[in-house]
A = this chain, B = another copy of it.
Amino acid sequence: MAEDLKITPWGVSGNVQDKDYDKIANEFGAKIIDERLLKRIKDVTGDLHPFLLNGIFYAHRDLDLVLDDYGKGKPFYLYTGRGPSGEMHLGHILPFMFTKWLQDKFNAELIIQITDDEKYLFREIEDRDLKEFTHNNIIDILSLGFNPDKTHILIDSEHSGILYNNAIKVARNITASSVKAVFGLKDSDNIGKFFFTSIQAVPAFILSYLKNENIRCLIPYGIDQDPHFKLARDVLPKLGYYKPSAIISKFIPSLQGSGKMSSSDPNSVISLNDSRNTVRKKLMKYAFSGGRDTAEEQRKYGANPDIDFSFNIFRIMEDNQSKVSSIYESYKSGEMLSGEMKSIAAEKISEFLDILRSRREDVENNLDAYMFDEKKFN
């Protein structure tokens, strides 16, 4: 692991810099998404999502195999998840945008696992709060516009029967030594933590299990979740299933421009509930700027957009890449000032949040349609 960095699903210590990510992927044994692979994707999808263009989803495992299958007319399915530990913020929701893009482009079934049991075991959040977080988080996620016919919300506590029965198959193939090595668990940790990874492995083969035929699973996830799926890749072939494929993202940075946008520091996050005014204020006050100290210097020397939070968040949220390029040039040249860049980003974020909020009620009234139901698959 890159020096001073410790990355597990339950915590990232040290400040992850952009330069660290390739090292992390290498150490985890994942591959970097290269130009060749981007071209293969584009050949199918017609265009590339900004998350791919800008290297947010930057590493993978066996993505080739998924594309091979797809090329031969064999479907695959997508699986991603959310641990409902509180209000969602922009850093939580953006990766789901990419998953939605994949779903749309590949017309794929998608399972979204809500790991309320994980949060119960690791964070000691109580049942009542978990129910509320779960409900709200699901609405937030679905407000991105997922296809109700192909999107299946799998809540661990509500589908615990099928999950446990399949998780023991995984668990039988994972030793306590492995979870200690991979997650850093200790003997003083509770036995639910030791077991949990086997629950998170189940959606990676649940469709193959239900349909009684082998279907590839592609899992978009943040690099911190890699230990789970690394283990799952070791175990699933022993159960007769494919190794799950993965497409792996960097963290969405905090407003301060590096590290991970994390609820533990409220000044580092844009909340989904933030008003237009609040978003603007937060960016003005906290967003790390690649601009110069004074307007004068900025006009003279230009900004460094690559390290600028506002530019970076804008470029991954904006589909129109020629617009991104022109703003890049204008900001870099000094024509555009830091405050203007912040305004543009604030506007982009607020538009996005407005759309999410405008859809919440419809989604809430239609929640049942999205719920995982094994009868749909057999």
Binding site for B on A (CB under 8 A): 117, 120-121, 124, 157, 159-165, 167-169, 171-180, 185-192, 194-195, 197-198
Contacts and interface: CB of A to CB of B under 8 A. Distances in A.
30 contacts: A117-B164, A117-B168, A120-B168, A120-B169, A121-B171, A121-B172, A160-B162, A160-B165, A161-B161, A161-B164, A164-B164, A168-B192, A172-B190, A172-B192, A173-B190, A175-B188, A175-B189, A175-B190, A176-B176, A176-B185, A176-B189, A176-B190, A176-B194, A177-B188, A178-B191, A180-B187, A191-B194, A192-B195, A192-B198, A194-B195
A117 to B, nearest CB: 5
Contact of A187 (B168, B173, B176): B176
A294 B174 CA distance: 58
B175 A191 contact: yes
A190 B195 CA distance: 9
Contacts of A185: 176
A176 B159 CA distance: 26
Nearest to A171: B192
A165 B127 CA distance: 11
Contacts of A177: 187-188
Of the listed residues A162, A179, A190, the one surrounded by the most CB atoms of chain B closer than 10 A to its CB is A190
Nearest to A127: B169
Contacts of A186: 176
Contacts of A195: 171, 191-192, 194-195
Best-buried of A117, A120, A191 by chain B (most CB within 10 Å)? A191
Contacts of A179: 191
Contact of A188 (B163, B169, B176): B176
Contacts of A159: 161
Nearest to A195: B195
A172 B192 CA distance: 6
A256 B192 CA distance: 42
The 10 closest A-B pairs by CB, nearest first: A171-B192, A161-B161, A195-B195, A164-B164, A160-B164, A177-B187, A160-B161, A176-B187, A194-B194, A191-B194
A195 B176 CA distance: 10
A185 B177 CA distance: 12
A247 B238 CA distance: 42
